[in-house]
Structure 1
């Protein structure tokens, strides 16, 4: 009798497990197919929006060679395309894990200096710090009210990062929504990202569709600009099976662009290859050597085929020294430029504040449009920076005739002006936080920098 009960229990558990697995598989399949590239109808709507490029980078530690070759170097090319490009130091994303305030602030300055040293031009690109434009978090909250927990729970990066954190903060769970807000706030049509961020772009597309369906056409359905070039996949020097990462515990696995020349040489000499001495490019069979070939090709501007041809007469040991020499030579002017920018922090502050002001003008206009469509706030007195259509202006409630002070039958009491606690203002105040200039850091912005910011 007991054996029969046990067998029935085991059968029930197996069936329940099978149902759970099938449900999980079905959910994953739906997640993959729910959002992809914009449909033809969405593409037609996208044509109504000007082409805008947005991308962000966290100020956590130094920029490494993979970031530089796979992202920032491409940004410098995009800014010369004539498109509207915006690059953001996403400092609020970095606090999803504990940060030392002093270190975080220095990392923001270092990232800004690095971006400028790598070739980003404030005259061609809008460069700013995320927390300086408060509309990012405002739209982030609005979008979080449109997003579901199951949708966020299936994102792989949350699962990976939460394994290393004892007490998982809510911000780590919902930060993809803030990432979507970063993109949608500027109505970006194209977003340069790596393959590991593709599902976050799909979430942005999903939230754009939800908002457009509920409240009317407002946002374009953005495109993910994924670089299929080998530089987008610079591998770890110690484990070429994974990408180069600033979070790698092995310090010899990553080349930071501010590393001293002798440090770079030592790291490349210790790079994992194989027992074959020839230099070939075979990413599948010889990932370690192939990674060095890609790095050499990118920093020297030489095609991979030519790099391999020129290295036929030497073994991998001597080739590592050749790669190290090329990397040191390429990064030397960047390293010197970073030091120069960091020595003039007031100039950095001036440029970042100018970029934040440009970004804020766009963000304020778009967030007011979002809130007006959702019924949030009161828009009798429309801010001056909003271009309102005649139809919408006619739909707004009209001011009624003001009652006279002597009219005793009026239901609205007349409050003397001197008793009013809140002053009437002609335009909304800008309460966005700004950096404070520290006169002890450096001299005031140089005329050339001030001219650039204008």
Structure 2
């Protein structure tokens, strides 16, 4: 397949990431070099309100979200409830999940003084910009994106909302003229759509949107404790597979004690041939804030049973204060609603002038 010529190095590295997985660290380093922590840049990211996050969410995204607050002068984090209704939702459960997610983000360290934390549906500009960008997007372009390929097979084609989900993601990002977006490897193609739409809009209506760069997390994906061939997920039907941030210490200990390993009692890190043990090493290293090599070194002389106890201690030490803070915040829904309301006001202040400019350029006003 012929590749389009990119004059912008961010896009060059994006292509390298897409077509050559061995260069992922290079792409991440290149994006990190463009962070502009002292002078500027704006970060946007969103998370669906699916209830309390699990350990994989925390290590794969939220821990990084917290650190980005001190690296960029402008940071926006959205609870993307518009995205969540592409699947059937119980209204009462959705309302509860939004507040649970707000409590979880605050407990993990998101600071409303340093980041704009808001509920997506409360800023109507997201939906309007999504429609405008959708009119600049072809159906074949969306049909090739991985999320549609995967979920439409599961849902027998799926809804129009599911099909245009990536356009709304692009609108979320471009509405705030975001320069950087923290993403996982499975979201890189969706960010490329946002980059393409920024370029298409700018070419047609004049320069307005920066082309956002990916911030790839260096944290390895946390795998299911029962099937280390797949990532940890809330939708896993096995109760022992996933550690929630509100799990008790006893629950955490039980789940890790029953985590799948293998018949070799020695602790080594080899994700290809020993995925279960390697998953424990990944969790240990991340929660103890040490390198994988150091985690393996600390396991010297321990069999996997004893090592699981070491991992359990590291997880409990980090999760306990988060769990306690989530419980405290959950008990005060009015405070959570107030945080989201204030964040929504701040988000609208940023979004409204951008959409006014978009409307003027398109010819609506």
TM > 0.5 between the two? yes
TM-superposed deviation, 1:227 = 1.5
Are the structure 2 counterparts of residues 39 and 211 from structure 1 closer, same or farther at C-alpha, using a change threshold of 3 Å?
Answer: farther
TM-superposed deviation, 1:316 = 0.3
Contact conserved, 2:59 with 2:219, CA < 8 A, in 1?
no
Tell me the secondary structure at the aligned position of residue 322 of structure 2. helix
| Residue of structure 2 in register with 1:349 after alignment | 337
Candidates 86, 89, 104, aligned match of 1:96:
86
After superposing the two structures, state which structure 1 stretch, 219-228 or 323-332, moved more: 323-332
Runs of 5+ consecutive residues of structure 1 not aligned to the other structure: 1-25, 378-454
TM-superposed deviation, 1:82 = 4.1
| Residue of structure 1 in register with 2:110 after alignment | 120
Are the structure 2 counterparts of residues 303 and 255 from structure 1 closer, same or farther at C-alpha, using a change threshold of 3 Å?
Answer: same
Are the structure 2 counterparts of residues 269 and 300 from structure 1 closer, same or farther at C-alpha, using a change threshold of 3 Å?
Answer: same
| Residue of structure 2 in register with 1:375 after alignment | 363
| Residue of structure 1 in register with 2:255 after alignment | 267
| Residue of structure 2 in register with 1:11 after alignment | none
User: What number of residue pairs does the alignment pair up?
Assistant: 343
Candidates 297, 313, 318, aligned match of 1:325:
313
Take 1:150 and 1:339, find their aligned partners in 2: how far apart are those partners? 46
Tell me the secondary structure at the aligned position of residue 233 of structure 2. coil
Take 1:294 and 1:99, find their aligned partners in 2: how far apart are those partners? 34
| Residue of structure 2 in register with 1:340 after alignment | 328
| Residue of structure 2 in register with 1:150 after alignment | 140
Per the normalisation by structure 1, the TM-score is: 0.72
Candidates 344, 349, 352, aligned match of 1:361:
349
Work out whether 1:234 is the aligned partner of 2:222.
yes
Contact conserved, 2:125 with 2:352, CA < 8 A, in 1?
yes
Per the normalisation by structure 2, the TM-score is: 0.89
**Cα RMSD for the two superposed structures:** 2.3
Take 1:237 and 1:192, find their aligned partners in 2: how far apart are those partners? 25
TM-superposed deviation, 1:370 = 0.5
Take 2:47 and 2:7, find their aligned partners in 1: how far apart are those partners? 27
Candidates 8, 32, 37, aligned match of 2:10:
37
Take 1:298 and 1:60, find their aligned partners in 2: how far apart are those partners? 23
Take 1:198 and 1:79, find their aligned partners in 2: how far apart are those partners? 22
Q: How does 1:390-409 map to 2 (within 5 A)?
A: none
Candidates 137, 153, 159, aligned match of 1:163:
153
TM-superposed deviation, 1:260 = 1.9
Query: What is the CA deviation profile of residues 257-290 of structure 1, one whole-angstrom value per residue up to 9, with x for unaligned ones?
Result: 1112222112111211111100112222212111
Runs of 5+ consecutive residues of structure 2 not aligned to the other structure: 14-30
> Which 4+ stretches in 1 moved above 6 angstroms?
31-36
| Residue of structure 1 in register with 2:235 after alignment | 247
Take 2:12 and 2:291, find their aligned partners in 1: how far apart are those partners? 36
Query: What is the CA deviation profile of residues 311-342 of structure 1, one whole-angstrom value per residue up to 9, with x for unaligned ones?
Result: 11110011112212221221111001001111
Contact conserved, 1:237 with 1:254, CA < 8 A, in 2?
yes
Query: What is the CA deviation profile of residues 166-221 of structure 1, one whole-angstrom value per residue up to 9, with x for unaligned ones?
Result: 46211010010000000000000000000000000000011111100000001001
Query: What is the CA deviation profile of residues 412-449 of structure 1, one whole-angstrom value per residue up to 9, with x for unaligned ones?
Result: xxxxxxxxxxxxxxxxxxxxxxxxxxxxxxxxxxxxxx
Contact conserved, 1:192 with 1:226, CA < 8 A, in 2?
yes
TM-superposed deviation, 1:102 = 0.4
Tell me the secondary structure at the aligned position of residue 267 of structure 2. coil
Tell me the secondary structure at the aligned position of residue 215 of structure 2. strand
Q: How does 1:365-444 map to 2 (within 5 A)?
A: 365-377=353-365
Candidates 107, 111, 123, aligned match of 2:101:
111
TM-superposed deviation, 1:50 = 4.2
Are the structure 2 counterparts of residues 333 and 151 from structure 1 closer, same or farther at C-alpha, using a change threshold of 3 Å?
Answer: same
Take 1:62 and 1:120, find their aligned partners in 2: how far apart are those partners? 15
After superposing the two structures, state which structure 1 stretch, 130-139 or 255-264, moved more: 255-264
Take 1:326 and 1:183, find their aligned partners in 2: how far apart are those partners? 35
Candidates 187, 195, 202, aligned match of 2:192:
202
TM-superposed deviation, 1:164 = 2.1
| Residue of structure 1 in register with 2:281 after alignment | 293
Tell me the secondary structure at the aligned position of residue 252 of structure 1. coil
Computing the radius of gyration over CA atoms, which structure comes out larger, 1 or 2? 1
Tell me the secondary structure at the aligned position of residue 175 of structure 1. helix
Take 1:254 and 1:160, find their aligned partners in 2: how far apart are those partners? 22
